[in-house]
Structure 1
Amino acid sequence: MTPPAVSFEVFPPKSVNAAFKLWDTAQALAPLEPRFFSVTYGAGGSTRDLTHDAAHVLHRTSGLPVCAHLTCVGASVAETMEIADKFHDAGVTDILALRGDPADGASRFTPHPDGFANSVELIEALALKGTFNLRVGAYPESHPDAVSQHANIQYLKRKFDAGADEAITQFFFEAEDFLRFRDQCAAAGIDKPIVPGILPVTNWTSARKFAERCGTRVPAWLDEAYRAAERDGRTDLLSTSLCTELCSTLIDEGVDALHFYTLNRPELTRDVCRALGVTPKNTLSNVA
């Protein structure tokens, strides 16, 4: 089995201790030579400045590619494009362009009066600049706001037509969900890379709640497996085994790149990567 290319998502710190945790995560995972680190953007744009600062510092101190999240929420077109320019000026030229979660706990997304109406408009504007590598989100089990899986796939196609270079999916628990989606996208004429998003489960209760919020199906067998593992105190072993098996199945089906949602907890992600043959090649030493 040829080891896959990997990339890792982290979130910006909101405290000094969290900043150390982010840096520890980078130190632990950078030796695996990821394609990039992605830095998330809080709901409603709540971590806008933190995302910029974290992306800048991570890129500057590690020398690694960084992909900054950018959303349409809570900002005008001019403000959003100003943020994009600041990313570019900081040496961050990869952007994950997203609509974003509704602000202030709202149930549905409402565009800013002077902002982008959706992610397609944001992608079009960024693509016109001609200076960014653009990634977008994709939803193997359909976006919660999509009326059907067909509409979900057609909207992804619109993102690619608008200028996106690559898509990263929401996480899923069974390989068949991604593989079916990949086939459906190919049938719809999508020929750009679609990278599966992988969530190593560090806490099943939290992961399950997260899955419910974003429309990820939770198989009944998985609930039972974690109930048994919790009784035996073997949840970490179960998580490592299941995540490695999921990734191995994807690789056997021709997937050559994986994107891990680390939640700034690198240990499980690192263990899975090593099990897949992704081994350390360098050390992160260029510390500012």
Structure 2
Amino acid sequence: MTPQISLEFFPPQNLEGSFRLWDTIHALAPLAPRFVSVTYGAGGTTRDLTRDAVRAINKSTGLNTAAHLTCVDATREETMAIAEGYAAAGISEIVALRGDPPKGSGAFEPHADGFANSIELIEALADTGKFTLRVGAYPDIHPEARGSKADIDWLKAKLDAGASEAITQFFFEAETFLRFRDECAKAGIDKPILPGILPIENWKGARNFAFRCGASVPAWLDDAFAKAERDGRHDLLATALCTELCSDLMDEGVDALHFYTLNRPELTRDVCHALGVTPQIQLENVA
């Protein structure tokens, strides 16, 4: 079985970043992803950049492009105006998230005239009838959740509000996702849940990111990457571990994978090739 794939990019913030984004798209678009998504910075800091990147990718490549949209630091009117702008540009896919507060600002605080949470945002977007909606999910407990049951109940509420699919935070062991998938099924969730896959470009960075978002870090990974870095085998280990993780998921019936590319295509491409996902299309005249 060859899995379907989807890809996540982040919007460029300078000229160098723009070149890197388009190099990543050129490298990975031939793998014919089911969709690609573009992230939103914490506190809505890349709102305009995200909008520009989504429109450019959609127009220049023909890829099915999804925009991240959050509730942070915006009124309902402003948020829905962004969504309507996407619809007018022919973009019908949105990843609807509450969003993280600006760095250093503490806990999330809804805008006085904004959406209070992701469920309100999803309901408003669903009511337009213009979008396919995806939401976030957390195989490890979200840092703000009261526990795993509360996390799953909230996910079910988001899906019931109008979302058609969920994408998980990344994780390091297949069992983490498989346990979560089983718990979701027991809770009555029957919509697809895509496992979020993070090819590890830099172990220190991935480890720090995991701690910030509540993803558990197995001790054996620290040891494995410490040895690999001493021997100059970091990328080899990262490719092998990511391929094994994906293979283990596929052995348990997972047929779609969502890759967090970090706008660095090499490891994602190598893992996909190892899984049998080979080039299917060719992009032309992309600037």
TM over 0.5: yes
Letter in 1 for 2:194: V
- Is 1:39 aligned to residue 38 of structure 2? yes
Deviations 1:71-114 (A, max 9, x none): 00010000000011111112211000000001242231111111
Letter in 1 for 2:126: A
**1:262 match:** 261
TM-score, scaled relative to structure 2? 0.99
**1:66 match:** 65
Alignment of 1:144-163 (within 5 A): 144-163=143-162
Give distance in 1, aligned partners of 2:202 and 2:45: 24
| 3-state SS, counterpart of residue 13 of structure 1 | coil
Alignment of 1:89-104 (within 5 A): 89-104=88-103
Letter in 1 for 2:91: V
Deviations 1:219-271 (A, max 9, x none): 00000000000110100000000000000000000000000000000000000
**1:223 match:** 222
Letter in 2 for 1:163: G
**1:274 match:** 273
Give distance in 1, aligned partners of 2:95 and 2:23: 23
Give distance in 1, aligned partners of 2:236 and 2:138: 28
| C-alpha RMSD of the superposition | 0.7
Give distance in 2, aligned partners of 1:28 and 1:122: 34
Letter in 1 for 2:266: E
Give distance in 2, aligned partners of 1:89 and 1:224: 50
**2:201 match:** 202
**1:106 match:** 105
Deviations 1:39-59 (A, max 9, x none): 000111111010000000001
Q: Which ranges of structure 1 fall in alignment gaps of 5 or more residues? A: none
Letter in 2 for 1:180: R
Give distance in 1, aligned partners of 2:214 and 2:103: 20
Letter in 1 for 2:81: E
TM-score, scaled relative to structure 1? 0.99
Give distance in 2, aligned partners of 1:136 and 1:156: 8
Give distance in 1, aligned partners of 2:280 and 2:58: 18
Could you list the structure 1 runs, at least 4 aligned residues long, displaced by more than 4 angstroms after superposition: none
**1:180 match:** 179
| Contact map agreement 1:41 1:70 (CA 8 A) in 2 | yes
Give distance in 1, aligned partners of 2:129 and 2:277: 33
**2:133 match:** 134
**1:211 match:** 210
| 3-state SS, counterpart of residue 96 of structure 1 | strand
| Contact map agreement 1:63 1:286 (CA 8 A) in 2 | no
Q: Which ranges of structure 2 fall in alignment gaps of 5 or more residues? A: none
**2:7 match:** 8
- Shifted more, 103-112 versus 159-168: the winner is 103-112
